[in-house]
């Protein structure tokens, strides 16, 4: 039998498995899915407020926007169960930042 904590991660895998993963040298891209998570692709680090690295386990991850995920900061699909709705579409893409 699958543990409850494993089920949300499986939903994430099923939902986003067809998304292409970024290569090691690709810049980070973040896609805001309407009524869903932020999909982050590329080479990146996620850190806690104390600076500890949270291993992403994938080159493409979905970050929670609804605040209900049991896998925070990662999405577990809870946004569907609570009917999470984004207030508006994300703004138009901005040009990349330069050093």
Dist. CA 32–CA 13, nearest whole Å: 17
pLDDT for position 81 = 93
Percentage with pLDDT > 70 across the chain: 71
Query: Where along the chain do its domains lie?
Result: 44-81
- In this prediction, residue 3 carries a pLDDT of 38
Is residue 68 over pLDDT 60?
Answer: yes
DSSP characters over 6-63:
HHHHHHHHHHHTTSPPPPTTSPPEEEE-TTS-EEEESS--EE-TTS-EE--SSSEEEE
- Lowest model confidence (mean pLDDT) among 29-33, 45-49, 56-60, 64-68: 56-60
pLDDT at 20 over 60: no
Among residues of the chain, what percentage have pLDDT more than 90?
47
């Amino acid at each position: 039998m699958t543990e409850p904590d494993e089920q949300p991660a499986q939903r994430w895998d099923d939902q986003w498995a067809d998304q292409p993963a970024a290569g090691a040298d690709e810049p980070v891209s973040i896609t805001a899915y309407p009524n869903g998570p932020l999909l982050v692709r590329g080479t990146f680090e996620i850190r806690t407020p104390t600076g500890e690295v949270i291993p992403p386990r994938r080159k493409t991850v979905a970050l929670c926007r609804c605040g209900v995920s049991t896998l925070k900061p990662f999405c577990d699909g809870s946004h569907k169960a609570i009917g999470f709705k984004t207030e508006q579409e994300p703004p138009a893409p901005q040009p990349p930042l330069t050093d």
